[in-house]
């Protein structure tokens, strides 16, 4: 079975467990005769439901004409375990591809499947944040000590792995949701913990570090926000000065990275509005224009 066709012969919605049992059956009544290929497995519906232990089932429509073996295995794992134990994904890509992106809870380093409708409209906010649960995990259960140690060296492969694990993003999303819920005390605790765990002194600037800097003023800590924004600006300016030092013949080889740093600096200016005085914003904009000119 390389490919399982979806041939809707039943108009009513069916349980995914029943559908998978139908596909796995050896009975001739569950097969289609297709010319010389003989009997093949097929799926008799395009509307299915995943039964859960929660209040509601997850209702799905299968838009494609068929499934690969990998797809069938994917759904078998979920249908077998959903409601019995947590079903988690290390990335949002598989849930999005299979129509589950609006049924995810962001649990820090994984996305947990839920019967709740979570309506994710961007990869930046994929999955619902349950602040009490995520706060307990990030702030109390996880041990981040080695990440903050200056004598522990993290090479490029470690940094890439930690970036894919969304550690800084987990802290940002928790702090942002706590801010939205007017829990400023906890939000500031998370921001401070993030600075200790993935400090700018040891870890490079990324988009989430800029967004976190913008949260200080929203939680009544404008002076600390100024400090963070100035630290970020200094770090980015060092990078941009470095890229500007390349000869005209060499700049094409680093253009992608230099453009990325310019984009981060432009975003930092947006985050600085409302935190830095107008004079500081103007100076940053002037520097941005100068760096952009030097990168070409």
Question: What is the Cα–Cα distance from 47 to 14, expressed in whole angstroms?
Answer: 7
Task: At 221, list the tokens.
Answer: 């800590």
Report whether 211 contacts 202 (CB < 8 A): no
Q: What is the pLDDT of residue 213?
A: 96
- Sign of the Cα torsion 147, 148, 150, 156 reads positive
Q: What is the pLDDT of residue 161?
A: 79
pTM of the full structure: 0.86
Question: What is the Cα–Cα distance from 243 to 151, expressed in whole angstroms?
Answer: 28
Unique residue bearing structure tokens 């097969």: 31
Taking only the tens place, the pLDDT of each residue in 25-50 is 989 888 888 777 678 888 888 899 98
Taking only the tens place, the pLDDT of each residue in 254-265 is 999 999 999 999
Backbone angles phi, psi at 15, to 5 degrees: -65, 140
Q: What is the pLDDT of residue 35?
A: 72
Q: What is the pLDDT of residue 260?
A: 95
Question: What is the Cα–Cα distance from 217 to 276, expressed in whole angstroms?
Answer: 10
Taking only the tens place, the pLDDT of each residue in 174-207 is 999 999 999 999 999 999 999 988 888 778 899 9
Unique residue bearing structure tokens 């049992």: 21
Q: What is the pLDDT of residue 1?
A: 54
Q: Smallest Cα–Cα separation from 251: which of 205, 293, 207?
A: 293
Unique residue bearing structure tokens 């069916």: 14
3-state secondary structure of 46: coil
Low-confidence ranges of the chain (pLDDT < 70): 1-2, 37, 63
Question: What is the Cα–Cα distance from 168 to 269, expressed in whole angstroms?
Answer: 20
Q: What is the pLDDT of residue 36?
A: 72
């Amino acid at each position: 079975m390389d490919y399982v066709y979806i041939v809707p012969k039943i108009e009513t919605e069916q349980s995914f467990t029943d559908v998978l049992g139908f596909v796995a059956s050896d009975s001739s009544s569950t097969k289609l005769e297709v010319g010389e290929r003989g009997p093949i497995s097929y799926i008799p519906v395009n509307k299915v439901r995943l039964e859960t232990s929660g209040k509601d089932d997850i209702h799905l429509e299968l838009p494609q004409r068929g499934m690969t073996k990998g797809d069938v295995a994917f759904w078998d794992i979920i249908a077998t375990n959903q409601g019995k134990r947590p079903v988690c994904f290390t990335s949002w890509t598989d849930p999005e591809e299979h129509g589950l992106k609006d049924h995810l809870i962001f649990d820090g380093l994984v996305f947990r499947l839920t019967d709740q409708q979570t309506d994710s409209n961007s990869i930046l906010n994929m999955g619902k944040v349950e602040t009490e649960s995520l706060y307990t995990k990030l702030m109390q259960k996880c041990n981040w000590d080695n990440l903050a140690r200056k004598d522990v060296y993290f090479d490029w492969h470690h940094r890439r792995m930690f970036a894919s694990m969304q550690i800084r993003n987990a802290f940002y999303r928790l702090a942002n949701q706590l801010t939205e819920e007017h829990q400023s005390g906890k939000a500031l605790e998370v921001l401070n913990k993030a600075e200790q765990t993935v400090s700018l002194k040891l870890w490079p600037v990324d988009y989430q570090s800029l967004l976190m800097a913008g949260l200080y003023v929203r939680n009544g800590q404008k002076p600390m926000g100024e400090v963070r924004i100035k630290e970020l600006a200094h770090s980015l300016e060092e990078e941009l000065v470095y890229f500007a030092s390349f000869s005209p013949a060499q700049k094409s080889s680093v253009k992608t990275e230099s453009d990325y740093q310019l984009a981060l600096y432009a975003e930092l200016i947006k985050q600085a509005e409302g935190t830095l005085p107008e004079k500081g914003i103007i100076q940053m904009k002037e520097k941005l224009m100068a760096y952009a000119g030097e990168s070409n």
